[in-house]
Amino acid sequence: MGLGSNFSVRVEWVAAISLAAGAAAVGYLAYTRFLSKDTCCKAMVNLHIQKDNPKVVHAFDMEDLGDKAVYCRCWRSNKFPLCDGSHTKHNDETGDNVGPLIIKRKEA
């Protein structure tokens, strides 16, 4: 048992450590890609409405609403901020259940 056998033990340890580090890296990447809940909630909701503004805000006077107003909450409406029914397609494609905000006068 000379210098050669000591060298082969070192090579085996380096190989084992390299294999373990590679397996840990693959496991971590798989976890962050498929199991981490942080990635599911970072998708952008507003894809195209007033992107040049830092915040999209609409204000209406109650007197101007009439008897009923239907507002978009899915950000897909071509008549935004009013609802045009685009949430139906959005829900079918994503499995979501979003619908419009309906504001109406209380019947006397």
* Residue 55 annotated as catalytic: yes
CB–CB of 98/73 below 8 Å?
yes
**Dihedral of the CA atoms 45, 50, 55, 56 (nearest 10)?**
-80
Residue of 37, 55, 68, 106 marked catalytic: 55
Q: What are phi and psi of 50, to 5 degrees?
A: 45, 50
Q: At residue 16, what is the residue type?
A: A
Q: How far apart are CA 23 and CA 16, in angstroms?
A: 11
7: left (phi over 0), alpha (psi -120 to 50) or beta: alpha
Q: Which residues are catalytic?
A: 55
